[in-house]
């Protein structure tokens, strides 16, 4: 038995175990030796902080050549009050056994490495301090998201990954097939394919969440989504996680209030419960991290309409590559100006022109805009898109047609409006986008365990 007999580093650091003899397993993060003493930082993943081992070299013989950064060791000793200022407790070591040596070819030596280099070794970068911090925050954030919705009584729906619908109509869906593509010449005969029709990996769980909202009331999905997005930017991944709440009997105003409450709530949880990780990230990744938290926690989110946004941009005196106009989507240069320079805090932009927004967004009374919003945050841009859904059967049908979508494939979706339709709203939050904001990480590839982004997997 190993697990039953070991003590976790987290428990040594957090509880008073003074005088207790314990056994710890973990990996060496750093070691240094003087003539009489050795100091080793050991981490077992249970906490971001490491435990200091103190070795009296007059009493113990150790093989220093194996006690190198990255080596796995098994250590016995007595918990004592720490003499140094960094932690309360340390281990007076009585026995060290080397379990798995990491020699000096180990790529993650003590110096700081560039993230580009670490991306080439995703199977090893998990051991670095930055990734220990980022993935602890990702884990805590995921729990905070579930807690928020569970405490409000939302139903967690597992939306399918395989689908026939391109929810966003962006033509960015990956096709899924069991045909051997190498054997296909010319036109594809789908009657030979597994589903006998064209099938894709989902770009969004929304369409399947809606029938659940229209029966269970308040629901959410939280799962992977896939997009062959041509924009290979630091904010785009081909495989990313989305949280998509969908609520019956919520109008646009209810939606906006829920989003604000949700984002503030999960931000506060991270601030309060990931203090060691945030202190590290602030020191080494994003010095302005506190300001990012304040920008969310200290204010109500400002809300402007698309029309007002265009007006601000045109009066800014700033030269943009493309002029902002009604009827064309804002570019990243516009979003950046609004959120980073003009407002300097999170903003909602609402009521976008109907022509380039998704078919399911509810048409406003002006007949030219839809009841939708984007939430933009400084340094990142868009993290959320949401809308009140078009609940009127005829309107929905005509929007599907005018957008050139194959109405037949959306017949099932239309039927949700045929019997007992109801006003409802929902939104999608990109998990990695908010994680980038809360950790200060600049590239989406560095907040995903094994990123599927860009053009090469490994």
Are the CB atoms for 42 and 27 separated by under 8 Å? Answer: yes
The per-residue b/e assignment along 430-450, b for 16 or more CB within 10 angstroms, e otherwise, is bbbbbbbbbbbbbbbbbbbee
43-51, 69-77, 183-191, 430-438 -> range binding ligand 4AD (CB under 6 A): 430-438
CB of 15 to ligand 4AD, least distance (A): 39
Taking CB under 6 A as the binding criterion, the range among 53-61, 234-242, 261-269, 299-307 that sits at the site for ligand 4AD is 234-242
Burial of 352: CB neighbours in 10 Å, binned 0-12, 13-18, 19+: buried
Distance CA 218, CA 220 (A): 7
Report the alpha-carbon angle 53-59-63, nearest 5.
65
Q: Does 168 bind ligand 4AD (CB under 6 A)?
A: yes
Stretch that binds ligand 4AD, among 33-41, 90-98, 117-125, 382-390 (CB under 6 A): 382-390
| Stretch 241-260: interaction string toward ligand 4AD, x if CB under 6 A | -x-x----------------
Among 385, 388, 416, 443, binds ligand 4AD (CB under 6 A): 385
Of 90-98, 177-185, 277-285, 380-388, which part binds Mg ion (CB under 5 A)? 380-388
Query: Residue 40 or 243: which CB sits closer to Mg ion?
Result: 243
**How near is the Cβ of 267 to ligand 4AD at its closest, in Å?**
15
Please, what is the minimum distance in Å from the beta carbon of residue 303 to ligand 4AD?
A: 16
| DSSP at 5 | G
What is the dihedral angle through the alpha carbons of 365, 366, 367, 373, rounded to the nearest 10 degrees?
-80
Q: Rule CB under 5 A: is residue 385 a binding residue for Mg ion?
A: yes
Residue 202 interacting with Mg ion (CB under 5 A): no
C-beta of 439: minimal distance to ligand 4AD in Å? 15
Name which of 59, 98, 56, 58 is nearest 75 in CA terms. 98
Nearest 10 degrees: Cα torsion 377, 380, 381, 385: -80
Size of the site for ligand 4AD (CB under 6 A): 24
Residue 210, both tokens: 């809606």
DSSP per-residue codes, 38-72? EEEEEE-SSSSSPEEEEEETTT----GGG--TT-E
Residue 388 as a binder of ligand 4AD (CB under 6 A): the answer is no
d(CA 148, CA 222): 13
DSSP, residue by residue, 320-366:
-SS---TTSPPPHHHHHIIIIIII-S-EEEE--BGGGS-TTBPBPTT
96 beta partners: 75
336 binds, among ligand 4AD, Mg ion, none (CB under 5 to 8 A by kind): none
Pick the closest to residue 219 from 146, 168, 308, 328 (CA basis). 146
CB 10 within 8 A of CB 47: yes
Cβ nearer to ligand 4AD, comparing 43 with 225: 225
* Contact between 382 and ligand 4AD per CB under 6 A: yes
Stretch that binds ligand 4AD, among 54-62, 83-91, 116-124, 240-248 (CB under 6 A): 240-248
168 binds, among ligand 4AD, Mg ion, none (CB under 5 to 8 A by kind): ligand 4AD
Q: How far is the CB of 372 from Mg ion (least distance, A)?
A: 9
Q: How far, in Å, CA of 428 to CA of 369, rounded?
A: 20
Instruction: CB nearer to ligand 4AD: give 136 or 227.
Output: 227
Taking the complex as a whole, the smallest distance from the CB of residue 388 to Mg ion amounts, in Å, to 15
Asked if residue 173 binds ligand 4AD (CB under 6 A), the reply is no
Q: Segment contacting Mg ion (CB under 5 A): 146-154, 196-204, 358-366, 382-390? A: 382-390
**In whole angstroms, what is the distance from residue 276 CA to residue 129 CA?**
11
Binding mask 203-222 for ligand 4AD (x = CB under 6 A): -x-x----------------
Residue 26 site contact among Mg ion, ligand 4AD, none (CB < 5 to 8 Å, cut-off depends on kind): none
**Binding stretches for Mg ion (CB under 5 A):** 385
**Binding stretches for ligand 4AD (CB under 6 A):** 167-168, 204, 206, 227, 229, 236-237, 240, 242, 244, 382-387, 426-428, 430, 432-433, 444
């Amino acid at each position: 038995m190993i697990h039953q007999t070991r003590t976790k580093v987290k428990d040594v650091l957090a509880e008073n175990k003074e005088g207790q003899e314990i056994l710890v397993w973990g990996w060496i993060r750093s070691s240094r030796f003087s003539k009489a003493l050795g100091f080793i930082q050991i981490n077992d993943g249970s906490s971001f902080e490491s435990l200091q081992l103190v070795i009296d070299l007059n009493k113990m013989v150790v093989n220093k050549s194996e006690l190198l950064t990255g080596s796995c060791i098994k250590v016995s000793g007595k918990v004592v009050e720490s003499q140094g200022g960094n932690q309360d407790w340390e281990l007076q070591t009585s026995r060290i056994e080397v379990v798995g040596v990491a020699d000096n070819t180990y790529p993650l030596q003590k110096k700081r490495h560039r993230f580009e280099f670490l991306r080439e070794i995703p199977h090893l970068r998990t051991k670095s301090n930055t990734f220990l911090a980022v993935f602890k925050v990702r884990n805590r954030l995921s729990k905070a998201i579930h807690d928020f919705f569970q405490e409000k009584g939302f139903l967690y729906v597992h939306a399918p990954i395989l689908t026939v619908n391109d929810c966003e109509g962006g033509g960015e869906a990956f096709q899924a097939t069991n045909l051997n593509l190498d054997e296909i010449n010319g036109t594809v005969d789908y009657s030979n394919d597994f589903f006998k029709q064209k099938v894709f990996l989902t770009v969004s769980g929304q369409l399947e969440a809606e029938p659940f909202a229209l029966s269970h009331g308040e629901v959410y999905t939280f799962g992977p989504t896939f997009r062959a997005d041509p924009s290979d930017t630091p904010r785009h991944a081909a495989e990313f996680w989305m949280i998509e709440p969908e609520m019956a009997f919520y109008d646009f105003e209810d939606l906006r209030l829920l989003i604000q409450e949700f984002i503030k709530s999960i931000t506060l949880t991270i601030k309060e419960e990931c203090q060691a990780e945030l202190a590290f990230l602030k020191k080494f990744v994003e010095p302005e991290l506190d300001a990012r938290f304040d920008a969310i926690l200290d204010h109500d989110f400002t809300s402007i309409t698309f029309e007002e946004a265009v007006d601000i941009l045109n009066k800014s005196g700033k030269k943009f590559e493309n002029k902002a106009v009604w009827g064309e989507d804002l570019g990243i240069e516009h979003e950046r100006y609004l959120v980073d320079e003009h407002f300097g805090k999170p903003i909602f932009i609402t009521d976008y022109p109907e022509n380039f927004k998704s078919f399911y967004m509810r048409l406003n009374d002006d007949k030219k805009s839809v009841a939708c919003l984007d939430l933009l945050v400084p340094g990142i841009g868009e993290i959320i898109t949401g809308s009140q859904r078009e609940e009127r059967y005829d309107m929905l049908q005509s929007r599907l047609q005018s957008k050139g979508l194959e109405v037949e494939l959306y017949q099932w979706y239309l039927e949700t409006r045929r019997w007992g339709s109801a006003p409802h709203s929902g939104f999608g939050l990109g998990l990695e986008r908010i994680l980038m904001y809360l950790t200060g990480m600049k590239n989406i590839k560095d907040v995903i365990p094994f990123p599927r982004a860009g053009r090469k997997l490994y």
